Amino acid sequence: MVELNQPLPPPVPSAELRRRLAERRSAPAQALIAPGPSDAELEEILTLGARTPDHGKLFPWRFVVLGPQSRARIAEQLAVLAEARDKPAKDQAVLAKLTAAPVTILVISAPVPNAKPVWEQQLSAGAVCMNLEHAAGALGYSASWITDWYSYDPQGAALFGVQEGETIAGFIHIGALSEPALERPRPDLSLKVTRLP
């Protein structure tokens, strides 16, 4: 662990990190199987995930680690809620993504009132999600960052302990892949980049 107020070494070129970033791909959540991270590896993933840009040192997010039993129990309750929705069959089908992986880290955006702009605090929660994916990959696991309907349904979110003023930034499902992830389309940077002199 790095001690407070100690100088950190400057970044050094890393072909391995560049390769990982170039090949980074979210895994299909329902294709994640055991083995998942050990308790020690999970602690390291959380520690690395928390090293995230944060305007004001507010840490405006929190983690809920969900094991298979808690997710199975909540998925049963969500299945009941799905029956009252517009597309119950579809909304029940996505619950398989919630229960497949060995481990899930729920990232909850928890903005600090009357501090920095809420949007910036929410961006920090999103950055945590991406850091968790990178940390899982660095330990040899695959990960999937998803939300799905229950993230935005007040009754659904409440099942995960989301409190007033909080929102779900994402579920980071972690495990091994049962099948190789396929590459997907990537943006044409000429359409996404503006260069100003």
pLDDT at 181: 83
Token pair in block for residue 171: 């579920």
The C-alpha angle 19, 43, 154, rounded to 5 degrees, equals 95
Q: What is the pTM of this model?
A: 0.94
Domains of the chain: 30-176 (3.40.109.10)
d(CA 79, CA 18): 41
| C-alpha to C-alpha distances, 35 to 71, 100, 179, 180, 195, nearest whole angstrom | 17, 12, 14, 15, 45
pLDDT at 193: 96
pLDDT at 190: 93
Q: Where are the beta strands (DSSP E) in the chain?
A: 32-33, 61-66, 103-109, 142-146, 167-177
pLDDT along the chain (197 residues), means of 10: 83 93 91 96 98 93 96 96 89 94 97 95 97 96 96 97 97 93 91 96
Q: How many residues does the chain have?
A: 197
pLDDT at 1: 66
d(CA 104, CA 151): 14
